[in-house]
Every structure is written in C-alpha cells, then in structure tokens.
Structure 1
Amino acid sequence: MKGKKLVYTFIVLVVAIIGWAAFRPERLFVNAKVNESLPTANSSTTNTSEAIVASGSFHDVAHKGVGRASIYQQPDGKRILRFTNFETSNGPDVRVYLVAANDASDSEMVKKAGFVEVAALKGNIGDQNYDLPSDVDLSKYRAVTIWCKRFSVNFATAPLSTNAQTSGVSARALFTGNFHGVAHKGAGQASIYQLADGKRILRFSSFETSNGPDVHVYLVAASDANDSETVKKAEFVEVGLLKGNIGDQNYELASDIDLTKYRAVTIWCKRFSVNFATAPLRTAEPMAAVNQ
C-alpha cells in the first residue's frame, strides 16, 4: 500500500512539474521590468523626424496593452523597434511579432495574416529596443503584436502608421503623450511636431474616442486633466473642432502658444462642458547621436 502511495505521489509530482514548466503560473504575479535608452547612432547630426518611420499605440487584445511602439531608422540604415511607456501581462514564452496586417484585434488575425518574429519579449513593463532585420518590408508588416508562443495568444497589438509629413518634409517631434479616458473612452497618441518652416502641428494617431455634439480640441495649462473641473479651472486654448472621433488627424497650432505652459490635450464637449479624454504631454524622446 505504501508503495502505491509513493508511486501516486511521484506521478502527481511529475505532473505538477510539467504543468509548472508549461504554464509558469508565477509569471502572472511577477513583472519583468526593463529600462533601455535609445541606442546611440554613429552620426554627427540627426533628429527624431528623420528617424521615426512608423509608430502606434498598443491596445488590449487577450491582455492589457499600453504604451507606444516606434520604428527608428538610424543614419547607418539600421532599424530599431522601440517600446516606450510599455506595459502588458507577463507570461511564458512571449515574443514580439511584426504582423502583415493593419491591426490584429484577436489571435486568429495574427495566424492568418502572417508575421515575422522579432525576438523574445525582454520585459512586460518598461522601455525596450529590438533590432529589425534589414529585409523586413515595413509597408507589408504594419502592426506589432505581443504574442504568447506557448499558447498561441495575442496579448496586445500596436497598429503602425507612418510619421507625420507635410509636402514631403518630415516633422520634428516636440511633445507626445497617450490619451486616457475621462468621461468617455480615449485611446491613441497626441504628438506636437515642428515643421521645417516653423509651423507646429498637433497630430492624433491611432486615435479613438466617443462621438458627440460640438466636440473641440483644447490645449490645457495643466500636466493632466482627469476630470472636467480641472479643464475649467486651468487655462486652455481652443485648437479647433474635433475632425473625427476615430482616426489619424492633424491640427495647426497658433505660433504664439507657449507649449511649456499648455501641457495636455483634451477632447472637450463644449455643449455639455465635459472632458471626454485627455493626453498629458511630455517632451518627445530625441534620436540619440554622437560626433564621429
């Protein structure tokens, strides 16, 4: 009898070890944090506008996904996929994929579209960089997916859009930030670019909020606005009517606006004095450079 118990105990132990190795349940509770800076390029001069060729904000799929995915091209031709303010769930055998689709809202889309595996995910939280193969066609692979290879699950995806340009001239990013919901859903990124002629453009990318009556875009004199009262109490500048509640869009900014003072972008329903969503702005990360 004791012999049978020992055998059963051994079998249970083996099954438990195999199950642990397959599922790695402790990773659901332990975060892997990364904090990498943008790699230095071997160039005397360069700027962010010339470097960022595509970017987009992560959205949830099977798990939480926040932050920004950007593809930089350095002067030597090397391309780097960079995550900033990134966070998703941890898990076993999680990879970074470039997917041949505009977006991937489920796991089946990744499987059907085709993909290129970039690397194992370095961490589920924090800024991180990945070298891209030189032969990857970025006009074909237009989304970044965080993929659990063990269970074939799409954790989160960032659809990529090309960098803002006007008349073929690239724009230098000054400030950027991710939208968060306030009274309504808010997703996507707000960025302020400066063109070669000095004009400043506020650009929304991968943007989405609710539709509504008389909705406007405000620059708010606050670091963030988590409610409507903050907008009312702080000073604000009206940029213009919201062009659409979904999609990429541009707004020209007045030349006399002090961007060190107005540090948040708010989607404001003027009819009912409601803050739909806000993006707190931070200084855009420049493309690193050193003298040769």
Structure 2
Amino acid sequence: MKSLINAAALAGIVIAMPVTSSAAETLHAEGMFYGAEGHEGAGTVRIVSGDNGETALNLIDFSTTPGPDLKVWLVAAGNVTRSGDVKDSQWLSLGKLQSDSGNQSYALPAGTDISQYKSAIIWCEAFSVLFAAADLKSAQ
C-alpha cells in the first residue's frame, strides 16, 4: 500500500485515506481551526505518530471556504490571523488540500521536528492568502 501511495504522490494523484485512531497512536499536538481574512474554517487538527513510526497531520470534521490552489502548511508562527503572519514565518507544505470538507490525513516528511511549528494552516498559494488556521497545542 505504501508504494502505491508514494507512486500516486509522485504522479500528483491524491488518495484520500480515512482518518482512523488506534491505541498505538501517539498524539503530539492538536488544535481547532478558525477562519481568517473573510474565509471560514472549522474542525480539529491532530499531529500523531503511529506504531509504524510515521507521523501524520489529521484533519477531523474539517471544513473551509472553497478556493483555488489550497495547500496544507505547518507554520512556525503561532496565533496566525493574517497572511502577513505566514509570509514572515518559516513554513512546511504538506501538499494540496484533498477536500474543503471532511476527514483527511497528510504524511509529514521523515525527520520533521514538530516542535518547530506552532500552527497548521490552509493557504492559497496562487494568491498568497490565508484561509484557515489552527494553533497547535502540545499534547505532552
């Protein structure tokens, strides 16, 4: 399955995977989405590691205003409320937003230092606009 997902990612194909929780998961951080700059945002974000050692960002009961070129980013800045907060901060793109609503999961690159990121955001790359943000609270 992992090789199928990697091949799909290289081809630019998004595979929506169900967000599931297991007793073997370790919760690192979580937060609640809020809208920004005239856009709506709601739902929960969780950063978890599975027993396989892989870390993922999960969106749960998520929704945001539809838009062009929306991406999921982790941002070093906390309390992000405007696009300028993002532009002035370090960020990591996790890829294209799979859907403007529903449960979704995004793999974090191996070796990502989660402690360096204080927010998860939905970002319109085409127009450099913040759609939604969530402050990440450490679970440890």
The TM tier, using the shorter chain, reads 0.7 to 0.9
Which residue pairs with 2:46 in the alignment?
191
**Corresponding position: 1:175 with 2:29:** yes
CA distance in 2, matches of 1:224, 1:218: 14
CA distance in 2, matches of 1:206, 1:255: 26
Which residue pairs with 1:26 in the alignment?
none
Shift of 1:170: 3.9
**Corresponding position: 1:230 with 2:85:** yes
Contact 1:164 1:170 in 2 (8 A): no
Q: Secondary structure at the match of 1:247?
A: strand
Give the residue type in structure 1 aligned to 2:25.
Answer: A
CA distance in 2, matches of 1:203, 1:226: 21
**Corresponding position: 1:243 with 2:98:** yes
CA distance in 1, matches of 2:80, 2:129: 11
Deviations 1:107-163 (A, max 9, x none): xxxxxxxxxxxxxxxxxxxxxxxxxxxxxxxxxxxxxxxxxxxxxxxxxxxxxxxx7
Give runs of aligned pairs for residues 145-160 of structure 1, distance below 5 A: none
Give the residue type in structure 1 aligned to 2:98.
Answer: K
Aligned residue pairs, count: 122
Which residue pairs with 1:207 in the alignment?
62
CA distance in 2, matches of 1:164, 1:282: 20
Unpaired stretches in structure 2, ≥5 consecutive residues: 1-18
Q: Secondary structure at the match of 1:265?
A: strand
Q: Secondary structure at the match of 1:243?
A: coil
Structure (1 or 2) with the larger CA radius of gyration: 1
Q: Secondary structure at the match of 2:84?
A: helix
Give the residue type in structure 2 aligned to 1:245.
Answer: D
**Corresponding position: 1:260 with 2:115:** yes
> Which residue of 209, 215, 218 maps to 2:73?
218
> Which residue of 260, 271, 278 maps to 2:133?
278
| Structure 1 stretches of 4+ moved >6 Å | none
Give the residue type in structure 1 aligned to 2:30.
Answer: T
CA distance in 2, matches of 1:191, 1:219: 12
Shift of 1:223: 1.6
TM-score by length of 1: 0.40
**Corresponding position: 1:164 with 2:20:** yes
| Percent pairwise identity | 35
Give runs of aligned pairs for residues 55-134 of structure 1, distance below 5 A: none
Shift of 1:263: 1.4
CA distance in 1, matches of 2:104, 2:128: 23
Structure with more contact order per residue of length (Cα contacts < 8 Å, sep ≥ 6): 2
Superposition CA RMSD, Å: 1.8
Deviations 1:16-64 (A, max 9, x none): xxxxxxxxxxxxxxxxxxxxxxxxxxxxxxxxxxxxxxxxxxxxxxxxx
CA distance in 1, matches of 2:80, 2:44: 15
Give the residue type in structure 2 aligned to 1:222.
Answer: A
CA distance in 2, matches of 1:254, 1:269: 21
Q: Secondary structure at the match of 1:226?
A: coil
Shift of 1:171: 1.6
CA distance in 1, matches of 2:103, 2:139: 19
